[in-house]
Amino acid sequence: MDILDTDAYDKRQRRNTSCMLFLFLLPFFASVALYFYLWIPDSAPSILASGVKAAPVLSLAFVVLKYNGGRSLLGVAGGLVMSAGGDACLIWPNLFLMGMIFFALAHMLYSLTFLTSRYFSHSLSSCGLYFFYLLLWAAGGGIYFYLLPFLKKSPEPEVFVPAVGGYALLIVLMTSLAARTRRPLVLLGGLVFMVSDFTLALQQFKVVEHLEHGKHLVMTTYYLAQLLIAVGDIKATMAEQAEELHKWKRS
């Protein structure tokens, strides 16, 4: 098989793999459509409502497990499962803090994944990347201090002031490590996640009394962020497997 035949074969393989991935993602798109059709935020808190809200993220966890195996339970798949737990908690207003804890665990698992060899980059000493880190941490710190007066007015300031600060630290760290991977899908997922959480915080802590279509914005960006992170993780695994195959062919 000459090099042209090999290139054509690789292109067919990538095309077939992308088609299969899209098919596996159909339950995610269907469950997201169901969530918006039923518009769960306007319904009374219930086990059914929490299940409908968590279903899209759980479907992504199953797809990541399908491609990456059980090891991903300590990585992105595990983070998605933790996120589903957070989704379920946020259905009930009095479980908001518990939901934050679940999402904080999810960001920790994402961060650990982005430090693995699958995401290793040989060109990390970029001035542009360090400048991006500076902007990211400045934005995260600025958002927290912008929220701080409103956190102090919350029903439990002694809890939410440090809790939101710790959560902000974790999500900015996760997005910084996503940038370190140099993988656009993963980085975009982290950035969109920050937008989603900031929009949620504006409403949760009464920074804005009424944000038109605020809940729609929160959930649209949230589901998009999880999709980007999940697909980015799958693509990283595919790239690793392709590299190992090419090394085997050359040997």
Task: Give the Cα separation of 93 and 4 in Å (integer).
Answer: 59
**pLDDT confidence of residue 17:** 76
Mean pLDDT, rounded, for 198-221? 90
> Two tokens at 58?
């759980």
User: 158: Cβ–Cβ under 8 A, 6 or more apart, which residues?
Assistant: none
Task: Give the Cα separation of 75 and 112 in Å (integer).
Answer: 7
pLDDT band at 4 (very low <50, low <70, confident <90, very high): very low
User: How buried is residue 161: exposed, middle or buried, by Cβ count under 10 Å (0-12/13-18/19+)?
Assistant: middle
Handedness of CA 91, 97, 98, 103 (dihedral sign): positive
pLDDT digits (tens, 9 = 90+) for 77-125: 999 999 999 999 999 999 999 999 999 999 999 999 999 988 876 555 6
**pLDDT confidence of residue 213:** 86
152 in Cβ contact with 206 (< 8 Å): no
pLDDT digits (tens, 9 = 90+) for 126-167: 788 889 999 999 999 999 999 999 999 999 999 999 999 999
**pLDDT confidence of residue 242:** 65
pTM, 2 dp: 0.89
Mean of pLDDT over the chain: 89
Task: Give the Cα separation of 90 and 158 in Å (integer).
Answer: 20
The CA-CA-CA angle for residues 232, 87, 21, to 5°, reads: 30
Mean pLDDT, rounded, for 194-214? 90
